[in-house]
């Protein structure tokens, strides 16, 4: 059990109650990440029917009903203030919403001195149609990502997201399907248990990108437990707060069914090249992996070459410079010399990137 100021955190538990009150029982500065899926205040008027005369299962629960924008703003300010108190100075908060509420939430976040890092658009691959044909089909929701203290360090697993996206930078438009099929929880009558259950793929990106194994993730509107289920899969702790006992019961059962693999860092942690030992190019010469006067080839085709100098620089066409400087002059732009210079490998009888030699030094 993790403690903060000798006050224990209720790790991996679902707490029943109004998050505004329950959060007051948690120690300050104790939470690494918060994901909030608050009531959207949809302001629905009347029933909605499909063209085939079947009724649309809309969000009409009491928890989404507010008498006025002022009442909704007061509610939002209260739960955001309570979240800010428990969030670590290095912590971040995600909140998701639709056009009904996200702009009001965003304004209040800034009023409370949260600092925006990104807004992310979840583009729904299979949105519900606009049956009345009087508006555009609402095919996206917006997530706001903010840090508690502007300028503080925070977790963003850039290389993890890049790996998840086939080695391309992860963008702020996420194309993901809504929650359907086996993932959608059902009640005892076989109907969907919660009208706004989020897909696990969405929480997977949120949690993987902005937390680390062992971190504590809080969800103040836990619903049927998507945040907890994904947190367990990724070896994070969770604290769920849910005002509806029925939802809380379903969430507990769901989370308990998640089989958590034994923690193995290579499985759950993406290596960050920025944290690796720095190896100067000259170390390759010092350690005899390259020799002074040896020829290096620029690019895989080897159409141009330079000579290795005893001081760890290269000589090319009367110029001296580092592997990066000479590569930049040849490419006429920024270039990572470790990736573009090749040496002749006698064992394989092929050109190999000098980065292979750097890895040999790192491994000892």
User: Is residue 229 a part of any domain in this protein?
Assistant: yes
Determine the pLDDT at residue 48.
46
Question: Helices 226-233 and 245-256: crossing angle, nearest 10°?
Answer: 20
Determine the pLDDT at residue 293.
95
Determine the pLDDT at residue 50.
41
Both 173 and 190 in one domain: the answer is: yes
Q: What CATH number should be reported for the domain holding residue 158? A: 3.40.50.150
User: Is residue 52 a part of any domain in this protein?
Assistant: no
Domain count, the chain: 2
List all residues 6 or more positions away from 299 whose beta carbon is below 8 Å from its beta carbon: 340, 342
Both 164 and 201 in one domain: the answer is: yes
State whether the Cα torsion 57-63-67-71 is positive or negative. Answer: negative
Determine the pLDDT at residue 45.
52
Determine the pLDDT at residue 260.
84
Both 69 and 205 in one domain: the answer is: yes
258 touches 235 (CB < 8 A)? no
- Domain termination residue (choose one: 254, 273, 292): 273
Taking only the tens place, the pLDDT of each residue in 89-138 is 999 999 999 999 999 999 999 999 999 999 999 999 888 777 667 788 88
Rounded Cα distance between 354 and 60, Å, is: 63
What are the structure tokens assigned to 198, written together? Answer: 């989020």
- Domain termination residue (choose one: 215, 242, 273): 273
Q: Which residues of the chain have pLDDT under 50?
A: 1-5, 46-56, 59
- Give the three-class secondary structure for 109: helix
User: Is residue 107 a part of any domain in this protein?
Assistant: yes
pTM for the whole thing? 0.75
- Domain termination residue (choose one: 204, 238, 273): 273
Print the domain residue range for 215. Answer: 3-44+57-273
Determine the pLDDT at residue 238.
98
């Amino acid at each position: 059990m993790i403690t903060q100021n000798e006050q224990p955190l209720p790790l991996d538990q679902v707490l029943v109650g109004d998050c505004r009150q329950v959060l007051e029982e948690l120690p300050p500065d104790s939470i690494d990440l918060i994901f909030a899926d608050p009531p959207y205040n949809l302001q629905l008027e009347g029933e909605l029917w499909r063209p085939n005369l079947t009724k649309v299962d809309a969000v009409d629960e009491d928890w989404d009903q507010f008498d006025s924008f002022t009442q909704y703003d007061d509610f939002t300010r209260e739960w955001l203030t309570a979240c800010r108190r428990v969030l670590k100075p290095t912590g971040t908060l995600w909140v998701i919403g639709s056009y009904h509420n996200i702009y009001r939430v965003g304004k209040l976040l800034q009023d409370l001195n949260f600092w925006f890092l990104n807004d992310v658009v979840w583009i729904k691959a299979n949105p519900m149609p606009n049956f009345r044909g009087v508006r555009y089909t609402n095919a996206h929701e917006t997530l706001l990502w903010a840090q508690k203290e502007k300028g503080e360090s925070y977790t963003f697993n850039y290389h993890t997201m890049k790996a998840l996206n086939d080695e391309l930078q992860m963008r702020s438009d996420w194309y993901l399907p809504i929650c359907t099929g086996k993932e959608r929880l059902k009640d005892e009558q076989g109907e969907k248990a919660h009208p706004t259950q989020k897909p696990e793929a969405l929480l997977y990106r949120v949690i993987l990108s902005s937390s680390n194994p062992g971190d504590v993730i809080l969800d103040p509107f836990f619903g049927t437990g998507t945040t907890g289920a994904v947190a367990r899969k990724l070896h994070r702790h969770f604290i769920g707060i849910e005002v509806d006992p029925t939802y809380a019961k379903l969430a507990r059962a769901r989370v308990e069914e998640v089989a958590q693999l034994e923690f193995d860092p290579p499985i759950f942690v993406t290596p960050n090249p920025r944290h690796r030992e720095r190896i100067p190019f000259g170390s390759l010469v010092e350690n005899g992996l390259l020799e002074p006067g040896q020829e290096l080839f620029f690019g895989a085709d080897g159409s141009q070459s330079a000579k290795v100098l005893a001081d760890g620089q290269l000589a090319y066409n009367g110029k001296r410079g580092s592997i990066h400087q000479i590569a930049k002059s040849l490419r006429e732009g920024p270039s990572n010399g470790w990736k573009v210079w090749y040496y002749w490998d006698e064992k394989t009888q092929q050109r190999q990137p000098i980065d292979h030699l750097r890895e040999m030094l790192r491994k000892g």
